[in-house]
Homo-oligomer: A and B are copies of this chain.
Amino acid sequence: MALTLEKILAARERIAPYVIKTPLLRLSALDPVFGCRVFAKAECMQITGAFKLRGAFNKVLQLSPEELAAGVVAASSGNHGRGLAYAAKTLGIPATIVIPDTAPQLKVDNILALGAEVVRCGLAERFDVAARIAKEKGAVIVPPYNNEEIMAGQGTVGLEVLEQEPSIEKIVVPVSGGGLIGGIAAAVKALRPDVAVWGAEPAAAPRYSVSLKEGKPTRITVEKSFADALVANMPGDVCFPYVARNVDGVAAVTDESMLRAHKRLLFEGKLLAEFSSAIGLGGVLEGKIPVRPDENVCFVISGGSIGPEQLDRLKSVQ
């Protein structure tokens, strides 16, 4: 088992009937703000509002009829659960989603609306709870990131970026456990090693910044942050080697920079992301991700699950 380009190409074919090829937007109004030629891969416009659907479908579509009948289980801060619930509903199988108490209510409601069973628990115990439910029901756990088939599904985002805009020179990706950036970087470096791939993670949860320095997946303490979709307390051990091999850098970005970037993306770029998904732009604002004025930089806007009340937060930032 390895995350190869072939696996990612196969994933693209497998999930094509079920996912949207989201638009790659050229947001020139943002160029003077961020100091480069800004492109956005709008996964916030993906079905269920996030890229997570891609990996979930790629995994579920490879289950046996017996596995499908028993159903699927996931522990998720929200978007993965919604993606899996949608995949399960589409394919007519049962799904149980374990959601930490920290996730916004909107994400819970969206999962319930897809007909999945929802179980709430503390952030730290979510994987244990999912394992217990899987055992009880004989169901298959679909992990949010730490799995090569999940990474292969997320890597299809990278294939699309290269195809939609071959002039892209750098791709910046929000980072939590490492599934999205691991998949994208594997695809991009196999096809176009000249294209740089950067990650951006919360300064409040710098699991990759720390782990890359240590040379191994290292557990960190997750501080409070508005990046509520980027809460992993360590890199996935399956993801880590791919990220370490393929990624050009990972920036740890403050909430303030992320929120400032989100505000510019919304009011000048006209695109609504969830806060977590503006973290790459925040890393550029903060000077932690290098860009040049003439450089074509694609920011992966990984999701858009956000409600009206949350936007109030933007009033306090410049």
Contacts and interface: CB of A to CB of B under 8 A. Distances in A.
Given A270-B45, A272-B271, A308 B304 contact: no
Q: Which of A28, A267, A270 has the most CB of B within 10 A?
A: A270
Question: Which of A23, A267, A269, A304 has the largest count of B CB atoms less than 10 A from its CB?
Answer: A267
Contact of A44 (B26, B270, B304, B308): B270
A121 interface: no
A307 interface: yes
A31 B272 CA distance: 18
A49 B29 contact: yes
Interface string A10-33: 000000000010010111110000
A26 to B, nearest CB: 8
Interface string A83-95: 0000000000000
A47 interface: yes
A178 B128 CA distance: 62
A272 B267 CA distance: 7
Contacts of A131: none
A267 B29 contact: no
Contacts of A266: 272
A314 interface: yes
Interface of A: 20, 23, 25-29, 42, 44-45, 47, 49, 263, 266-267, 269-273, 304, 306-309, 311, 314-315
